[in-house]
Amino acid sequence: MGRAVGIDLGTTNSCMAVAEGGEIVVIPSGEGQRVMPSVVAFTAKGERLVGLVAKRQAITNPRNTIWSIKRLMGRHFEEVSEERMNVSYEVRDNEKGDAVVRVFDRDYTPPEISAMILQRLKSRAEEFLGEPVTEAVITVPAYFNEVQREATKAAGRIAGFEVRRVLNEPTAAALAFMEPTERKRLAVYDLGGGTFDISILQVVNGVFEVMATSGNTHLGGDDFDARIVEWIISEFKREHGLDLSSDPVALQRIREAAERAKCELSTVLEAGINLPFIASDEEGPKHLEMSLTRGLLESLIEDLVKLTREPSEKALNDASVRPEEIDHVLLVGGSTRMPFVRKMVEDIFHQKPAHSVNPDEVVGIGAAVEASVLTGQRKDLVLLDVTPLTLGVETLGGVMAPIVERNTPIPIKRSRMFTSAVDNQQVVSIHVLQGERELAEGNRSLGRFELVGIPPAKRGAPRIEVSFEIDSNGLLSVSAKDAITGRLQSMRVNPSGGLSEDEIHRLMKEAEANAEIDKARMRLVESRNAADQAIYDAQRVLEAAKKHLEKESWEELDTALVSLRMTRDTTDRVRIAKETSRTSELVTQVSRLIEVLDSGSIGASEEQDQLYVLEDSPEEPHEL
């Protein structure tokens, strides 16, 4: 049996942690960072890149680089098309009406792309731990609906995990922050790259109880970046008369510059945005040079940040808690580093938020805590979560009849009795809905099924019991039973958000078959990265050598550098490693020669000075 890890599958970055010897350890991404960019790229050569290597090449390959895929999870295309997605890749609908990503004439569903990220995390965890990793607790925004949760679970299955639990992100953060022995109330304000969640929890004698949760699954740092991008494009057009929005490469450069400026403005008051050769016209190349102040940024995003107030107040109201009764406010997500966001949090909760945890890692750490509970490593805490949205069925006139109200503790099973709408009705259609609107059309449809074989009777006579059962993951099963005949029909929410069970199994097999290929590709990328470093070192040393050494001292290194440059872009990893090693050894040798020459020059100079002094100050003659 393999190990279990906790995974924060984030919009912008993903983080992974594991319980080791009673402590929670964050598993590094293997790219020099503790978090991994949630980015997948496809190259013209047929390579698939994941993580930092995918993010680095986004400027030159924007149409085939996928980021923020979490915002598409379990969603229909018509929902997505109503938003202004700040992406360069093509989002379209498939035959089921689900949002999919089009890359090189192939459609990928969001769970497929997410599975590629999870697969890379799984591979890295196995390298770090030195043993198989088969189980995972994966976090989702608290306000994710049933389809989005199922889509996340499907992504985990495709990646080769047994998903032990789909855990709400704010709840995971609370598990990482609070000690089970504490008796406190906690508000978790989670503003990440693509979603916003707010949860109110209390901890009593090791029991973590979620009292209420609310949020917005279409609000986050991506939206802040989009506002900055719009401002940059508008200012450049006003100054130069050129519209950069239609140039995907320029647009990607602007996006990255906008994100950097946003991050910088969390610690400084003004950030420069400089992008040379961003465009050209008949007068020649144009450079983008402007500055963004913190005050201007705050004015650009003020209305977006204010959108977090209503869900926060709603969660407090649902929990019947006043802001003054909250002991701690915990910030989660990179966007909470912004001073303007922190000021909003202080205004809502009447206190300064806690700063003792890393907002990028706390959710992954909490997921690992829950994994340790589910695998029996920890027995000192119990988690009681809630369902974030109301669940019900459509009744006569297109009205939604609630069965499970929002913020009901889970797991739970709840039933409600219904009857027929017309005389002699023998078939009842059950339309399952999720949302807070009274009319069915204003809520999210989770599925439909029919209960057939009902004995003919006058309207109002049949008794149909509809039962909703929600497990600890927040995943839903629905059944309808005729009280007279005992006939039963049931359904479970589509477990894929766009994939059938057969498709999931096919993708699982593909992922398993391609696991070694993907590992080989990653090893090739790592070899090329090492080659790039060796090339950089060789260029630097050669410049110095050509100034100080004879040609025969650096000629071999020059030849090796040419050979490594030619080899670097091949797929022969062994040859790349050999050429890299050879070049690195020659770099060391030539560097030593330069050091010896420098030290020799210094020694000679000192000796000449001493001789000069001796000549200037001859010894006094000995007395006879």
169 is catalytic: yes
State the virtual CA torsion across 177, 181, 182, 187 in degrees, nearest 10.
40
Nearest CA to 207 out of 383, 326, 377 is that of 383
User: Exactly one of 31, 98, 135, 190 is catalytic; which is it?
Assistant: 190
Distance CA 454, CA 465 (A): 12
* Residue of 31, 126, 169, 223 marked active site: 169
Minimal CA–CA distance to 440: which of 403, 405, 400, 406? 400
> Facing residues of 108 across strands?
101
Annotation marks residue 190 as catalytic: yes
How far is 151 from 456, CA to CA, in rounded Å? 39
Residue 465 in contact with residue 481, Cβ under 8 Å? yes
Q: How many CB atoms lie within 10 A of CB 584?
A: 18
Contact 174, 516 (CB under 8 A): no
**Is 8 a catalytic site residue?**
yes
Which residue in 70, 153, 262, 314 is the catalytic one? 70
Beta bridge partners of residue 393, listed in sequence order: 401, 432
Measured from the Cβ of residue 414, the count of other Cβ atoms closer than 10 Å reads 15
Q: Are 348 and 323 in contact (CB under 8 A)?
A: yes
Q: Rounded distance, CA 581 to CA 96, Å? A: 52
Q: How far apart, in whole angstroms, are the C-alpha atoms of residue 322 and residue 349?
A: 8
Query: What DSSP element (H or E) covers 225?
Result: helix 221-240
246/237 Cα distance (integer angstroms): 12
* Euclidean distance between CA atoms 124 and 491, whole angstroms: 37
Question: Where does 437-528 show beta strands of DSSP type E?
Answer: 444-452, 464-470, 476-482, 488-492
- By DSSP bridging, strand 3-8 and strand 133-140 are parallel
Residue 54's contacts (CB-CB under 8 Å, 6 or more residues apart) are 37, 39, 40, 41, 65
Residue 72: which of 497, 475, 444 has the closest Cα?
497
DSSP reduced 3-state for 245: helix
Dihedral sign for Cα 294, 296, 297, 303, please.
positive
Q: Where are the alpha helices (DSSP H) in 308-446?
A: 309-318, 339-349, 362-374
Separation between Cα atoms, residue 467 and residue 416, nearest integer Å? 7
Q: Per the residue annotation, which of 8, 31, 259, 360 is the catalytic one?
A: 8
Note the residue count of the chain.
624
How far apart are alpha carbons 440 and 418 in whole angstroms? 16
Helices (H), 355-500: 362-374
DSSP bridge partners of 99: 93
Active site residues: 8, 70, 169, 190
